[in-house]
Each structure stands twice: as C-alpha cells, then as structure tokens.
Structure 1
Amino acid sequence: MGIPGLTTFIENRADLYMDNYKLHDTSLVIDGNSLACQIYQQSGSNMCFGGDYDKYGHIIMVFFEALFKCKITPYIVFDGGYESRKMKTIIDRMKNRIKAAENMSGVGGHSSVFPLFIRETLRDIGLKWEVKMVQCDFEGDTDIANIARRLGCPVLSFDSDFYIFDGLYIPFTRLDMTVRKNVDSSTKTPYNYLECQIYNIDKFLCSYGRVDKSNLPLLAVLLGNDYVKRSMFSMFYQNLKVQNCHGRHRSESQNRIKSVLVWLQNETRESAIRKVLGRYRKEKREKILESINNAIKGYNCFDSMYLKYLGISPSDVQSKDESINLNKLGDIEEPSEPEDDEEKQSESDSDKEITFSEDNGESKLPIIFKENFRKCLYPPCFMDISFRHKYYCIAQVEDVTADNAYVVSFDIISAIFKILTGLSEGLSCIGRVGRLVGKMDVPAHNGPLPTLEEIENMDNTKKQKVFFKILNLDDTFKDCLSLFPYSWHIYILAIKYATDKSKLNWPLVYSLIMSKIIISCIDYRTGFIRSVATFMKKYAAKLGEPVETKDVPSSSQDVSDCLNNISTIDSIHCMNSLIHYFQKDQKVASSYKFFDRNLVHSISEFQSILLHLKYLNNLLQRPFHDFCVSGCLNCTFVYNFTANLAKRGNIENYLESVLCKAPTVLRTVFAVINSVKEFGTVSTENVNPPPKKRKKKKKTVTSIADDASNDESEGEAWIDPNNKFCLLQSSDTGK
C-alpha cells in the first residue's frame, strides 16, 4: 500500500519524528517486497540491461551477515497475489512502468523498472541462510505490523503505511548496514549493532496537539492509499481549512497532510467520522463508512494467521471489533453543496477498470497449495493464476514493436495454469501490448498433466518426464544434462527452450555461458570483485608473474570435470581480461543511439523463460536442482560481451586470443559449447554469426549486429549456407 506524500512529509521533518537507535539483540520483521527493491537500489547495479543479479545477491548476503553479527533475528514477510480492490492501482503502476521501460536506456540510471528476479533472489538466498520467511495470500502490510506487535520489535520497510500503524518502524533509508561495536555500560559486555533511526509515532502526534491514536486509520483513509482514492473525499476537502507548510517543504500534498492533522487534533474518532459523512448524501454514507471500517480493522488487529509459519505462538491479546455503524453515530446533518464533478469522474474511472478486475469466482484452493504458497515454495503469481485466472506481467525493458517478452513462455505458463486449476484454457495475461496495457489470451495446453495431489505421489523420474513433455523434449536430452553439474540443468534447459522459441544466437549463447562460468566458478577462486581498480590492487603482482605457454587442452572432457579443474591463476587472468565487461560501456552511457534495445529484448525473453522454468520446477516439487539467478546472470556483462562477440568473424578464434593466459577456463567454455552443439541446443536457423567487415560504400548492405536498432534499415535477412554471415540487404536499390 502507500499514502501519497506521507513519506516525504515525515522525511522532511525527520529530526522531529525520528530517534537515533542501536539495533541489536532483537527480532526484526521485514517487508520482503520493499527490502528486495531497496537493496537492489543500494547494490549500484544497472537496470537497463535486465539486472546485475550477482551484485544484488552479494549485497543481500552482506545484509544478512550484518543482521546475524548483531544478533538480530529477521522475519521476512512477502506479499502474495493482488487484491481485487487494488486492481486500478496495479494497472496504473503497470502503465507507468511500461512507459518508464520504453524510455530507459544506458543513459542515466534511476528507474522504477526493477529486474524480473529480484524477489526470487532474495527468497532463494533467505532460504539458503535459513531465514524465517512467509508469503501472505494477498497484501501483507497489516500482517507485517501485527507480527511485529506480537514480537514487540520494529518493522523494516519503506512503505508510508507503517507511519500510521501504532508500532516501531525503521524506514530502510534510515538503516546503516555497517556493523559497529559497543560495550554495555552496566554489564561491560561488548556487542555489535547497526546504527539506524526509528520512527516515534508519539512525537509525530504530539507535534499536532496530541492527535488521538484512534484517529490514525481515519487519517490514512482521508489522505488516500492504494485501496481508497483521495478523490472519494473531495467534498470533505472543499470544506477543510487549508494549512500551509513553510519553506522548501511547501506543496499541495504536504499542505493537505498538515491540514488533516490540524483538523483531527480537536476531534474524537466518532465526531470526525460524523463530520466526514455529513458532507455526503445518505445513499453514499454506507460505502464511505465501509472504507473507514476496513481501515480501522486493518490498523488495529493484533494477530496474524501466518504466525505459525514463522514459528511464533499466537498472541494472548484479543483483537477488538472497533468498527463504527451509522446508528452508533447518531444524527448526521445533510450536506448543503451538490456532489462535485471530481467525485463523479472518480467513480466513472473506477467502473472503466472492471475489464481488468473481474474475478472468475473464488477457487477452491487445495490445502497443499496454500501450505506451499505460504512457505514461499510458490511465486505470488500462482495465487492470481489459481484464484483469478489472470497473470500480471512484470514490466521489463523491451522493444515495444515486438511481442511482450512473456509470450515466448506461454507454453510453460499454460501448463502451470492447467496443473493449478485443471483447466486447459481461460488464462489471461495482463501486460504490455504494444505501448499499452492489454490482455493476452494464453493458448490452451491440450495434453494431459498431473494434478497437485498426483504430483505429491510421483517419483523424480516421472516428474522429469512431465517437465520434458511440457518443453517438447525427448528423453535423449538427459544425456546432455548428464554432462553438467545439477546447478546447470535449468540454465541449459532455458537456453535450449529459448533457441527453439526465440532468436537466441551464438554471441548471446556464448555470453550467457561465460556469465555462468565466471559467477559460479571464477568468483569462487578470485573472490567477488567487480571493480577494475580493486581487482588490480589485489592481483597486480600475480598478473606480473611470467606465464608458461600452454596448449589449449582438449574440449572433449566432461563439463563438470572442466569446471572443477579451473585453476586459480587462470581465473585471475580470465577476470583480468573480462572484468571491464561488468561495467556500463561509456559509449552506451553517453548517447541513446548506442543502446541496443533489440539485444536487451532478447535478454528479457531469456529471463522470462528462465523464470518460468524455475516456477514449473517448483510446481513439480523440484525434479531438477533449483538454482539462484545470482549465481548465473549479470546482464550488464551479457549485454557488453554479446555486443563485442557480434562483431567477430570467428568467435572461437577471438576467445582463444582473449583467454590465451587462462587455458583451463578456455577448455571449459569450449566443453560447454561443444555439448550445446552436439545436442542441438542452438538450432541452425538461429545461428547468426556476424558478417565480415566490408569497406564502407553505399549503405546497401548492413550488419544486423551493428545496425539492428537503426530505423533506416529495411529489407530481408539473408543467411549464408555456411552460417558465417547474416546480412541485411536493402530492398530499395536506390538507397
């Protein structure tokens, strides 16, 4: 949720409402969705290429390590599926993110278009660190506050709703993850702590004449949130005395917050509600009072159905029913002014969204589904698929003239839908269609698939057969997977599926493989370093030592053996040659015209496939080894390295020159590629090595690799029979 303008209002007065706090030896309830976004922003990772998950995963591990050093026990609570009453907000945000993604390029850095895997990465690393986590069925803010009340500990988030809940709240921007040391003055015992600032709700209320805490839910409703639009109370605001904020804090939203606070300081909850309802005619009061009562119920609950999933016993405090009814309020005066146009328009706009918010009826969700969902074994979209028969696509950086990057995964998504619901058709994807938000009907999956209950009783071999059947693979592909470690299986399956369904070409295949090798193997030997300066400071002496000339070993070895036999010195030389690809290229950062949106679109399609294969694997109870994307993918590296390889006439010769001082790494790359080629992972029609460079004359022949995003390029692709060239011949000989 979120209350517009409230975070800014509090942050601008942080010295009045925040207390310095040493966080240690305590529980901490964490808003998982908020944490995922905030940590990604702190990681300094690029968003325009699709996500630097290795950097992101590293920061998550640093975060958990800091908590444990300070004896802080984290409880992470994730949101689940979308609520019907929030659909208009969801669609509006989707529109904004699609627009932001369209405008995104290598120039500039800030955007709200977060990478596809950020929540999965946090959850996977949390499971590895044995952090207690739960996923709510739907919106989780109320449960986060209630769990924190039960534990008597702070909430960590960056959601303005927590300024209204009566509890301890640490905004993420007010937490320093640097572990500090101190000594307890009474016991003389040393301890570690994290420095932060904690929100003091009593100071906030006292600064406005001691506003009664019982009025906090009404404050949230009047200011508007994701569930109740402020325009519902336009008649109330027309009669509210405006209080002006001063100095640089002045704005309409800031003045509005101050005005409501000043008005509430002399009101009880009943008198305030009576005056609000008095601005509306009788037929509308019941609807407005329902919104107010929902807020009261949410903000004043002291228990949660999810406590047991976190190993917490229920609260002894019984939640009270503090809802207000019209009879209890007594006589309410009739309004003197007619209904205004803004309120009518708000209702009209709400009606227009029914095409996105209609439900297919409440599904009878199996108990096994609910349990797995709440234990974070299923993604949140499974609730929308099962309960509403809709799938809401997360916006990515794409080519808006091409199909949505989710379309390539429709075969997988339709199979997931059938397993969850037993239905072959009826699933709609809500996401980018062109430049707008629209519906995409997912094709029916007509083959037989097991139910959730049947999956429970299946052995691993049968589950793998179901997996292969959905991907339209035969059992012989297991021979390919057998050459790789278990942690590679889904990754290789994603490459195979992507080449069958999209335009994954050799430069991109090499880059995806190189990304996986570096992150999963090379980093293990060199340590996690992404700065050229830091790397040189640590390894300059090693790089200066003489290198023995070695022949490139045979690439016919088992891939697992090759990965295990990569030497440390070869890892150092490999990173010396490739580390700069992890940084944004200055040419791309300097001008929009150098940003290859077509390449990013291909990376987005691969991510979509990888994500949905992960979902399918989890739904089938992991017949293949699960993976964490932070151990596979850095999209900045993939983008840069692919762009470089696309210029090379012979990729293998180029790699031999680049990795000449790292023969064990080179052997591993060739072993992986040869296995991919042997089992037809990259189909010949998708193998598009770049053309040889020609002298620049008239622009009648253009390289796809160089000019794929050039609007002036027109014509048809021509593929050389030897698969050495892919040229774009102009259809207009007069050009």
Structure 2
Amino acid sequence: MGVRGLTTYIAANADRYLDEHELHDCNVVIDGDSLSCQLYKSINSAFGGNYDHYFRVVCNFFGMLKQCNITAYVLLDGGYQAKKLSTVKQRLRSKIGAIKHLNPLMDSQPTFPIMMREVFVEALEHCHVLSMRCIFEADDEVAALSRKLKCPVLSFDSDFYIHNVQYIPSVTLSLKVFRRNIPDEESKKKVRLRKELVSEINSDGDYDRFKGTEVKRKCYYYMQCSMYRIANLTRDKGLRSEMLPLFAILLGNDYVPSSIFKKFYLNVSMKKTGKNSTKQGKRIIALLRWLQHETLASAIDKIINHVEKDKKVWLREQINNGISGYIHEKSMAYDYFGFSSNEQPGDYLSAATIPDCLVDTTLEEDADTGTLEEEEVDKSDHGEGEDDDNSNAVENDDEDDNSSSSDSDTESEPLESDSDDNKDEIQPNSKTHDSFDTYTPTNETLFVPPEWLLKKILAGQLPRYVVDLMTMRLYVNNCQVENFLLPDCNAISVPILQLIFTILHQPYHREFRYLTRVQRRTDIEYKRFESLSVDREFDTASDKNRKFFELILRDFENSETIFKVIEETVPSDIRLLFIAIIYWARYSKHCNVVYVCSLLLCQIVLTEIDSRLEPTVRDRRKFEKIFNPNGIKGVENAKKNVDENELSIEECKKDVTRNECIVTQFNRLLELFSISDKLRTKHTEFSSDIVHGFGEFQSIVYQLNCLNVLCGEPYSNIVISKCFNGCFLFNMYSTLKERPNIRYFIKTFLFPASPNLLNLFKAMMLVLTPFVGCLSSETISKRKKRRNINKKKSREQRKNNVTANDDEHANADEEDPNEAEFEDLNNRFSCLMKM
C-alpha cells in the first residue's frame, strides 16, 4: 500500500528513528514480494530474465540467514483488491514506458521479468524456507504474524512504519555476514569485540556453501541492518501509537484519496515545518504536530467536519477500515505454520494444514454481493502503493516537490493543499480503452477459494493472478521486454489462460477482462475473453486431470501422438518443456530453428553442465582458478552415436562427463553469459525482436506451469531457473543466426571436444523434429537457399556499386581538353609568379 513521503522523511531523520542492529539468532517475518524485487534489482533484465543467476542470489541470501541462525517465515502477496485497480493501471503504464526506453547497458530502473516471483518460490523450496501465499495483500498478515512471534519484519514498504512492529527496511540490510568474537568474562573489560567479515552474497558461488555451518562457542555470526520501532516516532513527536494509522490515512493511501482532505489541510498550521523540506515533508511535520493535541475520536470528528455532507458517512467508514487494517491481530499464517498447536512447523508442503477459519466453500452462480463501479482513472489516487511489480525494488514515496521550499514560512501559513497532487497522474485519453465500466466481483471480505484450490494457493504453487481471475474476473498482463511495434508477446498464451479460467469457474460459462498494452503506444486497454466450451469436465476430487490438461493441443491433428512420444522418449523432468516448445512453434510467427536450438542449448548448459560444475561460476578467471581447464582434455569420441544407435535422451545424459563440461564451458560458453563487447560499444546492436520471441516462450511456460498445477501435475513443472537465461539466449541466437549450417556449427565449434553433449543435443532434436516444422531438413535447406540468394544479391549489389564507382573515376579521368589547357595555363602562371 504505502504511505506517501514517509520513507523519505524517516531516511532524512535516520539518526532519530533508525537504530543500528545486529540481526542473528532470531525469527524474522519476510515480505516475500518486496524481498524478491530487492534481490533482483542488481540483475540485468533487458534480455528477459537471467533466472539461473537470480536463483543463486536468492539461495545465497537465505544461506546467510541460516548461517546467522535466523529462521525466516516468508509471506507472499495474493490477488489485487478492488481499491488497488487505479494504482495497478498507473503502474502498468509506467512499466510500459520504462520498457520502451530500456537501455541494456544502463538498466537503472529494473524491469522485473514475468517469472521472477516463480523463481523466488523455487529458491524457497530448494532452501526449505517456510512460506505461505496470502489470499490478498500480505502486509497486514506480515505485521500480525510478526507481533505474534515477537520478531522483526523485513520489507521495504512504508506501511510498516505505522504497524506496531520491529521493522527492518531491506535496503539497510547488508548482504554480508560478519563474525564477532565474544571475549571471556575475565577479559571483557580489556578485549574489544572484534568485527570480522565472513562472507558476502556471491551469485557465482555455491549456494549450498552455508550447509553445515555451526556457530562457535566464542563467536556469533550476524548481518548488519537498521531497525525501526514505532516508539521511536511516537516518543520523538509526543504521540500516542493509536494515532499513527490516522496519520497514515491523512497522508494518503489506498483506503482514502488524499484529495478529499483539501479543506482540512487549509486549517492545519505550517508553522516551522522547515525551509528545506519538500511539500510532503512539510505536511508530515505539520500533521504530526497537530495530532499531538488530539485524541483519536476528536481528530476524526474534526477531519470529517471539513468534507461535504454526502461524503461524511463514507469517509468515517473508510477511516475505520483503514485503521483496523493496521491493528488487526488475526493471523492465518500463524495457524498455517503450526504455531497455534504449539508445534514447530515442519516442511510446509507436507505438514501444513488449512486454518480452521477457512472453511470449504464453492463458488455459486449469482453469488456476487454487489456491483463495484470501476473508475477509469481515480484522480485522487497517485500510485502511492508500494507492493506492485516495480514498486518494491526502490520504494517510491511519490514526493510532490523535490525542490527547496521558499523562505515564506509564517505563523499563519496553512498546510498546503493537494492542488498539485494530480500533476503526476495519468490523464484519460480522448479515446478510452476501458470500455467495460462495471463488473461484479466476489465480495473480497467473504471470498474463500474451494479447499482443493486453497491448498495450492497457500503453498505458493499457483501465481497470484489466480485470485484475480476468481474474485474480479480480471487478468493484469505483466508486460515483458519486447518489440512494442508487434502485438503483445503474452497474447500467444491467452488460450492457455482461457483454459485456466474455465477450470476456476466451471461449470459456469463466464468471461474475464484482460488488461494489457496498446500496440505502438504507451497506453493500456481492456480485452474480453470467455470460458472455453469443452467436452470434458474438470474433476476437482481427482489428483490428476491429464485429459483436461491435454486440451492445450486440441487444435493439433496429432496431439495424441505428441503426448505418447513425449511420455516414451523424454525424461520426466523436461516433458512439459518439450510440450511448451511444440506449442510455441505452432502458434508463434517468430519461432524458427535458431530459437529452438538456442533454447535446447541453454537447457543443456543450465541443467547438465552446471550440475556437474558446482559451484556455478561465470567469471573466466575464477573458473580457470577453480577447475583448471587448461590441464584437462576433452573427449574426442563418444562411446555411442545417436544417429547409429538411436540413443535416448536419458542415456545421453548419463554419458556426459565432467571433463567435457569443463572444457566446453571454458572455451565456448562462458562469454555468452555476459553482454558482448560489440553490444557494449554499440548498444544499437540490441534487438528487441530477438527478446520478443523468447518473451513468447516465457509467457507459455508461465501459463503452462499454472495449468499443470491446477490439473494435479500430470507432468513435472518446468524448473525455470534450469532452462532460461535471457542473456545467454540472446547471445546464442545472435551467434547462430549468422551460420548457414547451424548443426554443423554446433558440432564443429561449440562441442568439438564434447561428443556426448552433442549426442544429447541431437537426441533432443530427433524427438522434436517430427512435431516442430522449422526443424525439418526441408525447412533448413530452404533457409540455406534463401540465405545464399540473399548473399548473391548482396554480392551483385556490391559489384554494381564498384562498377559505378569505377565509371565515375573513369569519367573523371577523361577531362575536357579545354579544361586541361586552362589548367596548364594556370600552372605556368603560378610558376611565373614564384619567379
């Protein structure tokens, strides 16, 4: 949600409100969405997501917590609430604008990739960290659990300055582990406690290096941070703690628009609020001072007296709702993690149970409790919420004016009104795209998913948009780095999304709105899609709904053959990946043999090579120091050949040796994980067309994983961190597209000393070739023929240009006799002048 300007104010007065703290030997409640963004902001996102890199960063972070004997409880956001829609739309427009002007070398404003949060959950599972996805926004749940466990909150949301919790802003947490020696009792007075750096977050290192770490008797490990306590603010300003929620509402949040307080602001004195403070900073100081002399009841009465009569009842209700959100004590996570029964929570996927407060309910037709008017753009909403896709990376308080104030602060100067508050808002276009003015969502306060679905949501197995599809029948499209002259790259997966919506609303035939970008413009629009008419019924009581999942290939004539071949020839962990590639090749206008080969090579590197070369190192110097590749020879010949013996993919995987992985990675692949020198010197070499094609594939994987979980996981979910590195894929595509014979290049230049890796690549290609048209020999030969024709045309063009230039020179040499005679006379005249 966020409180406008409060983070800036606290940071400017950090010496008064923030205390230095050593974090160790405790529990900590983590705002998962906020932390996931904070950890990604140092990773380049221009190529669509370096998910393997991000996975290691997250695992390293939780490894550090473990080293410091810190137990983390991570809470993830669920669906949006109706009051957030105007903020969501504003942020979507902002994200589109940021992507359109993205510079891959200067990614100052990180654009988070579509599957960032899913990779974050993958890392939590890998590290066995307890987590839970909330039904809606997680802020109140985080605060309630923190108070029950009496432990700090780690987040970057200014709302936690108002919640009565110990709050650690995540930007103040050093991503380093220190060790402090504890002297003996006898020498405490003589020996100074020594601070020593032990380790720091290292995305290239082994994320399991913290396993088995034991704290020595005479030292402890900790992470340095700053901690805020609500008493710091109330003591400094002479406030009672119950006044702070009202203070937050007056500054503006999602409960009440700040513009409604215009008349009230005019009656609050601006006396001595600081000459160098921003407009919002002055407002904070003035409000804190005014609240010192009021009780909660008297303050609310005075505020309501300054609004129109027809808004008084509504405003009082909104203020009460806002205050209750900051002080409620119910915690679903407390029960979910097993604390209510005084038992220590175990593995959350196996031991977690649904809290008693959530009963099994099913959606019924016409169960909606009312109609909510959706405003096109709420002019009183400034996007001050800080829990959306881009907000948590760098907390934004939306300061109204960053310039210094004038020297005209007087005794009688009133608190500035919101006359300028709308200057950063999104103005409605002359032709609005939000054509669906009303919708009928399920009442959020009463909404409880069916039990079979609730288990999957709470466990974090489903993305947050599932709740939106159920409560508001809305899907907010997460725009990717793409070519904005082309249609939305996520449109390719809409049929899968329709199937997901059909499952969630069976047996009713309904429609949902799809909020997405407008082609060629920095704008958004609504589209409308309906449930699919299918001849199969989804069985919520069944563990597997394989037949329903197979509807994704319902337009394929050979769909049964595809699933049969994949079941028989492809290892279980990558079957869904192959289905995604087949779907992508069928419906994409961009997918070609270069895309498919690049993707398969990336999967081989991230799965087979990295698994044999732990720790995963991308730096050439570190790699050479750790693995000594110069002293290792590759494998000249494989034991078997795929073409002759028809080896399966599983057999090829077993034959891969560690030595050939070391040699191949060092000699051929390491440089593909970083931005090339050519791109650094000339950033125009960056092609959004290439990233657009891979963006389509990401969208397919994103939706397929969700559908697979809903259907009871008939296949193993695609492990995103082991199949996609955007930078590697971009560089590999750029390399392969210049080659007339891709397979020959891979054999001769990429895997010359790795025949077993080459066999693995061939085996994958053999499975896909019958179902992916661009991989057929005929298509490849046409590509070569077309390339030769283009080369021939370019040679002829260059030849014609040379001939034209020669003709020009020849014409220049054939001078006019009169001109030659005139030039000769000039030369003679010059000689005479010199004499």
Superposed pair shares fold, TM > 0.5: yes
Matched, 1:677 2:762: no
Closer/same/farther in 2, CA of residues 470 and 448 from structure 1, 3 Å limit: farther
Q: CA deviation at 1:14?
A: 2.1
Give SS of 1:664's match.
helix
Q: Is contact 1:505–1:686 with CA below 8 Å preserved after alignment?
A: no
Q: Is contact 1:519–1:632 with CA below 8 Å preserved after alignment?
A: yes
Q: Which residue of 2 aligns with 1:401?
A: 485
Matched, 1:130 2:128: yes
Q: 1:487 aligns with which of 560, 573, 586?
A: 573
Task: Give the counterpart letter for 1:253 in structure 2.
Answer: Q
Give SS of 1:161's match.
helix
Q: Is contact 1:217–1:295 with CA below 8 Å preserved after alignment?
A: yes
Percent identity, please: 29
Q: CA deviation at 1:108?
A: 1.0
Q: Is contact 2:566–2:575 with CA below 8 Å preserved after alignment?
A: no
Q: Which residue of 2 aligns with 1:60?
A: 58
Q: Which residue of 2 aligns with 1:509?
A: 596
Q: CA deviation at 1:600?
A: 1.0
Q: CA deviation at 1:346?
A: 12
Q: Which residue of 2 aligns with 1:661?
A: 753
Matched, 1:635 2:635: no
Q: CA separation in 1, counterparts of 2:149 and 2:799?
A: 71
For 1:268-301, what per-residue CA distance to the aligned partner results, in whole angstroms no more than 9, with x for missing partners? 2223223322322332222222221112101111
Q: Is contact 2:18–2:226 with CA below 8 Å preserved after alignment?
A: yes
Closer/same/farther in 2, CA of residues 94 and 360 from structure 1, 3 Å limit: same
Q: Is contact 1:148–1:154 with CA below 8 Å preserved after alignment?
A: yes
Closer/same/farther in 2, CA of residues 36 and 686 from structure 1, 3 Å limit: farther
Give SS of 1:196's match.
strand
Q: CA deviation at 1:62?
A: 0.8
Matched, 1:582 2:638: no
Q: Which residue of 2 aligns with 1:10?
A: 10
Q: CA separation in 2, counterparts of 1:459 and 1:449?
A: 14
Q: 1:192 aligns with which of 221, 228, 234?
A: 221
Give SS of 2:19's match.
strand
Closer/same/farther in 2, CA of residues 78 and 532 from structure 1, 3 Å limit: same
Q: Is contact 2:633–2:660 with CA below 8 Å preserved after alignment?
A: no
Q: Which residue of 1 aligns with 2:659?
A: 569
Q: Is contact 1:240–1:259 with CA below 8 Å preserved after alignment?
A: yes
Q: CA separation in 2, counterparts of 1:349 and 1:114?
A: 25
Q: CA separation in 1, counterparts of 2:120 and 2:159?
A: 23
For 1:174-210, what per-residue CA distance to the aligned partner results, in whole angstroms no more than 9, with x for missing partners? 11232333356689654332222211322223333x2
Q: Which residue of 2 aligns with 1:650?
A: 741
Q: Which residue of 1 aligns with 2:27?
A: 27
Closer/same/farther in 2, CA of residues 164 and 573 from structure 1, 3 Å limit: same
Q: CA separation in 1, counterparts of 2:291 and 2:799?
A: 72
For 1:629-658, what per-residue CA distance to the aligned partner results, in whole angstroms no more than 9, with x for missing partners? 111110110011101111111111111222
Closer/same/farther in 2, CA of residues 343 and 396 from structure 1, 3 Å limit: closer
Q: CA deviation at 1:32?
A: 1.1
Q: CA deviation at 1:347?
A: 13
Gaps of 5+ in 2: 186-216, 343-413, 801-835
Give SS of 2:565's match.
helix
Give SS of 1:207's match.
helix
Q: CA deviation at 1:470?
A: 8.2
Deviating more after overlay: 272-281 vs 497-506: 272-281
Q: CA separation in 2, counterparts of 1:340 and 1:63?
A: 42
Q: Which residue of 2 aligns with 1:254?
A: 281
Q: Which residue of 1 aligns with 2:803?
A: none
Q: 2:608 aligns with which of 518, 521, 544?
A: 521
Give SS of 1:516's match.
helix
Q: Which residue of 2 aligns with 1:531?
A: 619
Q: Is contact 1:221–1:291 with CA below 8 Å preserved after alignment?
A: no
Q: Is contact 1:51–1:634 with CA below 8 Å preserved after alignment?
A: yes
Task: Give the counterpart letter for 2:625 in structure 1.
Answer: K
Q: CA deviation at 1:129?
A: 2.9
Give SS of 1:59's match.
helix
Q: CA separation in 2, counterparts of 1:228 and 1:297?
A: 14
For 1:672-705, what per-residue CA distance to the aligned partner results, in whole angstroms no more than 9, with x for missing partners? 122211444646698684724454665999xxxx
Q: CA deviation at 1:243?
A: 6.0
Q: CA deviation at 1:443?
A: 5.3
Q: CA separation in 1, counterparts of 2:246 and 2:779?
A: 59
Q: CA deviation at 1:105?
A: 3.4
Q: CA deviation at 1:591?
A: 4.2
Q: 1:601 aligns with which of 692, 695, 704?
A: 692
Q: 1:206 aligns with which of 235, 248, 263?
A: 235
Q: Is contact 1:526–1:572 with CA below 8 Å preserved after alignment?
A: yes
Q: Which residue of 1 aligns with 2:368?
A: none
For 1:208-235, what per-residue CA distance to the aligned partner results, in whole angstroms no more than 9, with x for missing partners? 3x22211110111111123332222222
Q: Which residue of 1 aligns with 2:511?
A: 426
Matched, 1:497 2:583: yes
Closer/same/farther in 2, CA of residues 495 and 682 from structure 1, 3 Å limit: farther
Closer/same/farther in 2, CA of residues 103 and 553 from structure 1, 3 Å limit: farther
Q: CA separation in 2, counterparts of 1:34 and 1:205?
A: 26
Task: Give the counterpart letter for 1:613 in structure 2.
Answer: L
Q: CA separation in 1, counterparts of 2:329 and 2:565?
A: 55
Report which of the two structures shows the higher radius of gyration computed on alpha carbons. Answer: 2
Deviating more after overlay: 388-397 vs 17-26: 17-26
Q: CA deviation at 1:240?
A: 2.8
Closer/same/farther in 2, CA of residues 135 and 650 from structure 1, 3 Å limit: same
Q: CA separation in 1, counterparts of 2:65 and 2:422?
A: 50
Q: CA deviation at 1:350?
A: 11
Q: CA deviation at 1:97?
A: 0.7
Closer/same/farther in 2, CA of residues 546 and 131 from structure 1, 3 Å limit: closer
Closer/same/farther in 2, CA of residues 350 and 2 from structure 1, 3 Å limit: farther
Q: Which residue of 2 aligns with 1:731?
A: none
Q: CA separation in 1, counterparts of 2:418 and 2:120?
A: 46
Q: 1:310 aligns with which of 318, 334, 337?
A: 337
Q: Which residue of 1 aligns with 2:650?
A: 560
Q: CA separation in 2, counterparts of 1:677 and 1:138?
A: 44
Q: Which residue of 2 aligns with 1:388?
A: 472
Closer/same/farther in 2, CA of residues 467 and 537 from structure 1, 3 Å limit: same
Task: Give the counterpart letter for 2:541 in structure 1.
Answer: E
Q: CA deviation at 1:89?
A: 0.6
Closer/same/farther in 2, CA of residues 345 and 6 from structure 1, 3 Å limit: closer
Compute the RMSD of aligned alpha carbons. 3.2
Deviating more after overlay: 681-690 vs 294-303: 681-690
Closer/same/farther in 2, CA of residues 698 and 224 from structure 1, 3 Å limit: farther
Give SS of 1:439's match.
strand
Q: Is contact 2:586–2:772 with CA below 8 Å preserved after alignment?
A: no
Deviating more after overlay: 380-389 vs 606-615: 380-389
Closer/same/farther in 2, CA of residues 399 and 551 from structure 1, 3 Å limit: same
Q: Which residue of 2 aligns with 1:228?
A: 256
Q: CA separation in 2, counterparts of 1:633 and 1:532?
A: 21
Matched, 1:359 2:359: no
Q: CA separation in 2, counterparts of 1:84 and 1:662?
A: 56
Task: Give the counterpart letter for 2:747 in structure 1.
Answer: E
Q: CA deviation at 1:111?
A: 2.2
Closer/same/farther in 2, CA of residues 130 and 674 from structure 1, 3 Å limit: same
Q: CA deviation at 1:416?
A: 0.8
For 1:35-79, what per-residue CA distance to the aligned partner results, in whole angstroms no more than 9, with x for missing partners? 1111111xx321111100000000111112122222211111111
Gaps of 5+ in 1: 316-335, 702-735
Q: 1:414 aligns with which of 487, 498, 505?
A: 498
Q: CA deviation at 1:546?
A: 5.1
Q: CA separation in 1, counterparts of 2:756 and 2:496?
A: 37
Q: Which residue of 1 aligns with 2:386?
A: none
For 1:469-521, what per-residue CA distance to the aligned partner results, in whole angstroms no more than 9, with x for missing partners? 48776222231343222111111111110000102111111111111111111
